[in-house]
Amino acid sequence: MEQVKYTQKDILERVFKQKRMGVGYDPADVDSFLDDIIKDYGAFAGRVEQLQGEVTRLQTALKASQDQLVTVKQQQVNTPSAAQRASPIVEEPKPTNNVTNLDLIKRVANLERAVFGRDAGE
């Protein structure tokens, strides 16, 4: 990503040199244009902040799901009788290399039902 050259404050405080000869730009037109650019910068900054928050939230949720999956797998290893009872409930993993978070969450839910019973989540 390219480095940002000007901040909102830089644009707001920019003063243009006046020409002594010839026709220069209309100061009101330049000011209006720069005001619009400042608003755009603010909108972009807000959107970037929002997306960074969303990334952080999703990373936290993913980590929690992974931790929960590890816990369930450890419980399954420690209690083989529960895993044997769960075999009709637990779906066999699909023979695919593309496992999504949704697949993991479904598997965790099925394992929880097998270990804790059907009424545990309700």
pLDDT per residue of the chain (122 residues) written in tens, 0 to 9 = 567 777 788 888 877 777 666 667 777 888 888 888 888 888 888 889 999 999 999 999 999 999 999 998 888 888 755 445 555 555 665 555 676 888 888 888 888 888 877 654 44
Q: Which pLDDT belongs to residue 83?
A: 45
- What are the distances in angstroms from CA 63 to CA 92, 103, 109? 24, 15, 16
76 CA to centre of own chain? 31
Instruction: Say if pTM beats, i.e. exceeds, 0.85.
Output: no
Question: How far is Cα 96 from Cα 77, in angstroms, rounded to an integer?
Answer: 23
Are the beta carbons of 80 and 41 closer than 8 angstroms?
Answer: no
- Tokens for 85? 């009872």
* Tokens 């608003």 -> residue: 39
Return the sign of the alpha-carbon dihedral for residues 28, 29, 31, 35: positive
